[in-house]
């Protein structure tokens, strides 16, 4: 027997859950299938910086109560380098917009609760194994064995390692870029040490400090791509952060237990187009982006809203123009985000010392940083792209 629904959604991350909620609000039948169990989905710490567009989408569709209650506006960013440090009050630059700091796992928890309240069907512990874009059909495996489900449309919201992107035909263009940089992503049970998101550029490699919650801070350390996170003991992490953040000059970090350490490879992947037959890719499934500019979850929310609007037009008003335009509407925004993300990677990392032009490249980084410190036009450019999609 094949389970039937109207829109079949693979993956219960920000993309799948925003899409599911918006479709349920329009009375459209949905089934979300998610490989992980509810507890895993609810506790997976990843993003934390929501841009103004994401905040508007969430509040505009009745999904922002948790974010408005628990989130904090954030509009200050600091850079530290060999020539000292400076802050950019980006709330007063560019379009005068800010981020909202709200951990992704809290957002996902809110979205699951609201989706179920709206009568949506969600199956955890269900792994999609095969995808047919032409018939919008999937095969899945769960604790009871195997099964099949079909919709009128299929939304691939299963992230960068899912099954829907590989189901796109061979003829689509698959852009892929390894930026040659890896970060050790660390979560510390400690309040933030500085009011600002802080980016430190150092000969040992980049270090970053980002607020998450009142008692949790995310840190990043540039590491070798083949590094083993287990060799990074708590003491080694704090020592590297002290050196690269230049705490002797700028003041100490507030320490706490390290609860997560994992290697993140800075990669970009973009599929073009992101729709085929009845299959539409959303979020990381459509385009993987490095976390250097905190764009991934924001792209996922933007695309989910666009696709929801297009599906409602098609299913309720028999207007298929939004669906036909989905790919060409999203891709320019995806590429703008990719371009800024790459700009951030270039700003924050020097090439390995062994590289022939390493000194030249490093001097360019410092010149760009000096320009960002001194040029109001450069600061406005940064602020606009930092918060925008």
- Among residues 214, 34, 28, 206, the alpha carbon closest in space to that of 108 is found at 34
Q: In what order do the strands lie in the sheet containing 2-4?
A: 2-4, 145-150, 137-142, 127-132
Query: Taking the complex as a whole, how short is the minimal distance between the CB of residue 107 and ligand FAD, in angstroms?
Result: 10
Residue with smaller CB distance to ligand FAD, 41 or 245: 41
Task: Candidates 45-53, 272-280, 347-355, 374-382: pick the segment binding ligand FAD (CB under 6 A).
Answer: 45-53
Q: Which of 114, 158, 269, 305 binds ligand FAD (CB under 6 A)?
A: 158
- The Cβ-side half-sphere exposure at 74, using a 13 Å CA radius, reads 27
Q: Which residue has the tokens 């709200």?
A: 102
Kindly determine how many residues on this chain lie close enough to bind ligand FAD according to the rule CB under 6 A: 36
Task: Tell me the two tokens of residue 110.
Answer: 């809110």
Exposure of 290 by Cβ count < 10 A (0-12 exposed, 13-18 middle, 19+ buried)?
A: buried
Does residue 103 belong to the site contacting ligand FAD (CB under 6 A)? Answer: no
Does residue 15 belong to the site contacting ligand FAD (CB under 6 A)? Answer: yes
Query: Taking the complex as a whole, how short is the minimal distance between the CB of residue 104 and ligand FAD, in angstroms?
Result: 6
Q: Which residues share a beta bridge with 73? A: 100
Question: Which residues, 6 or more positions from 258, have their beta carbon under 8 angstroms from its beta carbon?
Answer: 186, 187, 188, 189, 234, 237
Task: Tell me the two tokens of residue 40.
Answer: 């895993």
Q: Which of 127, 137, 361, 380 binds ligand FAD (CB under 6 A)?
A: 127
Does residue 222 belong to the site contacting ligand FAD (CB under 6 A)? Answer: no
Does residue 314 belong to the site contacting ligand FAD (CB under 6 A)? Answer: no
Residue with smaller CB distance to ligand FAD, 293 or 312: 293
Tell me the C-alpha distance between 322 and 312, whole Å. 9
Task: Candidates 70-78, 159-167, 194-202, 363-371: pick the segment binding ligand FAD (CB under 6 A).
Answer: 159-167
Does residue 181 belong to the site contacting ligand FAD (CB under 6 A)? Answer: no
Task: Candidates 55-63, 152-160, 174-182, 311-319: pick the segment binding ligand FAD (CB under 6 A).
Answer: 152-160
Q: Under rule CB under 6 A, which residues in 279-308 are in contact with ligand FAD? A: 283-285, 291, 294-298, 300
Exposure of 160 by Cβ count < 10 A (0-12 exposed, 13-18 middle, 19+ buried)?
A: middle
Tell me the C-alpha distance between 7 and 29, whole Å. 6
- Among residues 345, 249, 257, the alpha carbon closest in space to that of 295 is found at 345
Does residue 30 belong to the site contacting ligand FAD (CB under 6 A)? Answer: no
Does residue 263 belong to the site contacting ligand FAD (CB under 6 A)? Answer: no
Q: Which of 7, 8, 9, 16 binds ligand FAD (CB under 6 A)?
A: 16
Task: Tell me the two tokens of residue 349.
Answer: 């990392």
The answer to whether 270 and 318 have CB atoms below 8 angstroms apart is no
Tell me the C-alpha distance between 20 and 116, whole Å. 10
For 336, phi and psi rounded to 5 degrees? Answer: -60, -40
Q: Which of 38, 42, 46, 336 binds ligand FAD (CB under 6 A)?
A: 46
Q: Which of 88, 136, 157, 302 binds ligand FAD (CB under 6 A)?
A: 157
Task: Candidates 33-41, 192-200, 237-245, 345-353: pick the segment binding ligand FAD (CB under 6 A).
Answer: 33-41
Query: Taking the complex as a whole, how short is the minimal distance between the CB of residue 355 and ligand FAD, in angstroms?
Result: 26
Does residue 34 belong to the site contacting ligand FAD (CB under 6 A)? Answer: yes
Instruction: List residues near ligand FAD by CB under 6 A.
Output: 10-16, 33-36, 41, 46-49, 104, 127-128, 157-159, 162-163, 185, 264, 283-285, 291, 294-298, 300
């Amino acid at each position: 027997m094949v389970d039937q629904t109207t829109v079949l959604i693979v993956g219960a991350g920000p993309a799948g859950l925003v899409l599911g909620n918006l479709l349920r609000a329009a009375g459209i039948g949905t089934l979300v299938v998610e490989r992980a169990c509810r507890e895993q989905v609810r506790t997976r710490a990843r993003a934390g910086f929501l841009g103004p567009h994401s905040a508007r989408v969430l509040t505009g569709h009745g999904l922002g109560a948790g974010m408005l209650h628990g989130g904090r506006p954030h509009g200050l960013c600091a850079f530290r380098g060999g020539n000292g440090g400076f802050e950019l009050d980006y709330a007063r630059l560019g379009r005068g917009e800010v981020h909202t700091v709200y951990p992704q796992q809290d957002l996902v928890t809110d979205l699951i609760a609201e989706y179920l309240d709206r009568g949506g069907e969600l199956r955890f512990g269900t792994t999609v194994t095969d995808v047919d874009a032409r018939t919008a059909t999937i095969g899945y495996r769960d604790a009871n064995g195997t099964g099949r489900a079909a919709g009128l449309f299929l939304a691939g919201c299963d992230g960068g390692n899912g099954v829907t992107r590989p189901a796109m035909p061979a003829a689509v263009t698959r852009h892929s870029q390894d930026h040659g940089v890896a970060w050790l992503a660390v979560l510390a049970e400690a309040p933030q040490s500085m009011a600002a998101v802080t980016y430190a550029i150092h000969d040992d490699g980049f270090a970053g400090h980002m607020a998450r919650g009142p008692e949790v801070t995310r840190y990043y350390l540039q590491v070798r791509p083949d590094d083993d996170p287990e060799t990074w003991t708590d003491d080694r992490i704090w020592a590297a952060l002290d050196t690269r953040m230049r705490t002797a000059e700028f003041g100490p970090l507030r320490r706490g237990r390290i609860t997560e350490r994992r290697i993140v490879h800075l990669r970009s992947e973009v599929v073009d187009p992101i729709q085929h037959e009845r299959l539409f890719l959303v979020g990381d499934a459509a385009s993987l982006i490095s976390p250097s500019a905190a764009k991934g979850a924001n792209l996922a929310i933007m695309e989910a809203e666009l696709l929801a609007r297009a599906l409602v037009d098609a299913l309720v008003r028999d207007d298929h123009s939004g669906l036909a335009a989905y790919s060409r509407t999203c891709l320019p925004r995806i590429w703008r985000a990719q371009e800024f993300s790459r700009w951030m990677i270039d700003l924050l990392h020097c090439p390995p010392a062994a590289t022939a032009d390493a000194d030249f490249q490093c001097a360019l980084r410092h010149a760009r940083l000096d320009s960002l410190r001194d040029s109001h036009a450069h600061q406005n450019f940064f602020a606009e792209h930092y918060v925008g999609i």
